[in-house]
Amino acid sequence: QVNKLIEELQAAIKSYKGHLSKHAPKLQAEQERCASYVYQHIKRLPANMVLPQGLQLKVYENGKDTGEILVYITKKEMENNCKNQPSVMMERAFAYINDILLTEFSILRYSDGIYTREGLSEED
């Protein structure tokens, strides 16, 4: 009886692997469409750009291109106790953006990572 169950399980696994391999190209295409949609709204700032007043961001809920939320970060808020360390300034900016989005707009979810154009976590 155990052998019969093992054989049934192996047959089911083989069947599911076949289904997965059929759907793999569709999944990859969907992931690529999603990544290109997300990054059509993101523009890269030049590294040497000076922000005299600070930074203004338009934040959209995932999957939407309307109803943006404006987030302002002043130069003083970014530089406070950073001693010209860019990584500390970026961490402070991300934390500030997160705080604003969590307090002002509870419908938005905070992701606990920063992601590359390919959708991979910087920590991966």
Q: Are residues 92 and 35 in the same domain?
A: no
Q: Are residues 99 and 76 in the same domain?
A: yes
Distance between CA 120 and CA 124 in Å, rounded?
7
Domain count, the chain: 2
Q: Are residues 53 and 109 in the same domain?
A: yes
The domain of 54 spans 45-124
Q: For the residues 11-20, what does the mean pLDDT come to?
A: 90
Q: Rg of the Cα trace of the chain?
A: 22
Residue-wise DSSP of 20-53: HHHHHHHHHHHHHHHHHHHHTS--PPPTT---SS
pLDDT tens readout for residues 64-103 = 777 788 888 887 777 777 777 878 888 888 888 888 877 7
Distance between CA 71 and CA 55 in Å, rounded?
8
What six digits make up the tokens of 39?
């990054």
Q: Are residues 69 and 97 in the same domain?
A: yes
Q: Are residues 11 and 57 in the same domain?
A: no
Q: Are residues 64 and 99 in the same domain?
A: yes
Q: Are residues 28 and 82 in the same domain?
A: no
Q: Are residues 59 and 111 in the same domain?
A: yes
pLDDT at 112: 45
Q: Are residues 17 and 62 in the same domain?
A: no
The percentage of residues in the chain with a pLDDT greater than 90, rounded to a whole number, is 11
pLDDT tens readout for residues 33-50 = 776 665 666 666 666 666
Q: Are residues 62 and 99 in the same domain?
A: yes
Q: Tokens 């009886």 — which residue? A: 1
Q: Are residues 12 and 56 in the same domain?
A: no
Residue 54: is its pLDDT beyond 80? no
Distance between CA 7 and CA 13 in Å, rounded?
10
